[in-house]
Amino acid sequence: MNFKIPFSGRAHLYTQEELNLIKEVSQNAVPLTQGKYLKEFEEKFAKYIGVKYAFGVNNATNALEMVAQLCKFKEGEEIIAPAHTFTASVYPFIKKGANVKWADIDFDSRVISLENIKKCVTEKTKAIVVVHLYGMIIPDIEAIAEFCKNNNLILIEDTAQALGTEINGKKAGSFGDFGVFSFHSHKNITTLGEGGMLTCNDKKYADIIPMLRHNGHIAWNFERKYYWEPAMGNVDLPELDGEYLMPNNYCMGEVEAALGSKLLERIDKINEDKRKRAIKFIDEITKVSNLLEFNRINDKRHNYHLLVAFAKRKRDEIMKKLAFEKGVQVIVQYYPLYRYDLYKKLGFGQANCPNTEKFFDNIQLVS
């Protein structure tokens, strides 16, 4: 093998056409936020995912925070979430008042499963946060969605890593009440380093998300004689089922939105290229070592945002050999969230997740 793979060392390869677009939109868009490019990106994105509504935001963490607000947690209410994920999947919900029950991962798929969700359900459970981690759509997602519907639980799909993946022709992010997507620099497409999208199908959410996202801005609800009276526009509190929510500014700029639209045209190709590279890498490396176990999925269920392996033994020896002899820099990622100081201090440092423990302690990731 003669791979040279640094971890996260690649520049983002925008095409000349995309670079031209960045220049053109930054010079010509008026205003540079909340304009026609955002609207176009949102429409294209909703269509691509197969949902009714999509809202561009400045990052996925804020999209998750908006969703957490829309859940309207009452004292003692719980979410169920995996601990084997990026921290932003979970802490926005704690910030907005939820308690967390940590669900274990399934050992083979390495993501949350219906069986493990069921073990955590109590009469306090209000929402389930599932994460299509590594860019693999959760194998159980259809059953999880069905379960949530039957039990009146809000389902949130953290699809930050899994844009464009699908199961039986239905895209990740379209199964739950909310889909959350990231265009951060590390993700399969990036809108200049930061960006995100929030999707949903329910009009009651879609009606207030723009206000929630943009400082409570809303048009006056009466006819005006002059456009400047009583003021240019109103600001109000977004209201959901009789309760008020506090707004914020989570807007995405026009240049990012225009670039996002353009990149969406080639996301399937980007994913396919990543998948091909991953499959080649898996096949090559398993020829020389049988110590690493990969999820080898050669179809649209996986976009290989990250390539992950479980080391049956000798993890650190393998890592050293790969890094220092083969030029393949691998890392260990997704420290179980309940082991972090942040979650311990918030009172969520306890969990019963043996698969999460075993997997993290033997995992390695190639970007």
Ligand X SMILES: *Cc1c(COP(=O)(O)O)cnc(C)c1O
Binding site for ligand X (CB under 6 A): 59-61, 85-86, 88-89, 131, 158, 160-161, 182, 184, 196
| Smallest separation, CB 196 to ligand X (Å) | 5
Residues 209/199, Cβ–Cβ less than 8 Å: no
Residues 34/358, Cβ–Cβ less than 8 Å: no
Nearer to ligand X, 133 or 206 (CB): 133
Nearer to ligand X, 213 or 285 (CB): 213
Nearer to ligand X, 25 or 131 (CB): 131
Q: What span, in angstroms and rounded, lies between the C-alpha atoms of 270 and 10?
A: 14
Q: What span, in angstroms and rounded, lies between the C-alpha atoms of 75 and 86?
A: 25
| Smallest separation, CB 222 to ligand X (Å) | 38
Nearer to ligand X, 179 or 196 (CB): 196
Residues 273/135, Cβ–Cβ less than 8 Å: no
| Smallest separation, CB 308 to ligand X (Å) | 13
| Smallest separation, CB 304 to ligand X (Å) | 14
| Smallest separation, CB 305 to ligand X (Å) | 8
What is the longest distance spanned by two Cα atoms in the chain?
Answer: 77
Nearer to ligand X, 88 or 255 (CB): 88
| Smallest separation, CB 83 to ligand X (Å) | 12
Residues 6+ positions from 186 with CB-CB distance below 8 Å? 8, 367
Residues 333/306, Cβ–Cβ less than 8 Å: yes
237, 238, 249, 333 from 224: Cα distances, Å: 21, 22, 27, 56
Q: What span, in angstroms and rounded, lies between the C-alpha atoms of 274 and 286?
A: 18
- Report which DSSP code applies to 9: -
Nearer to ligand X, 70 or 318 (CB): 70
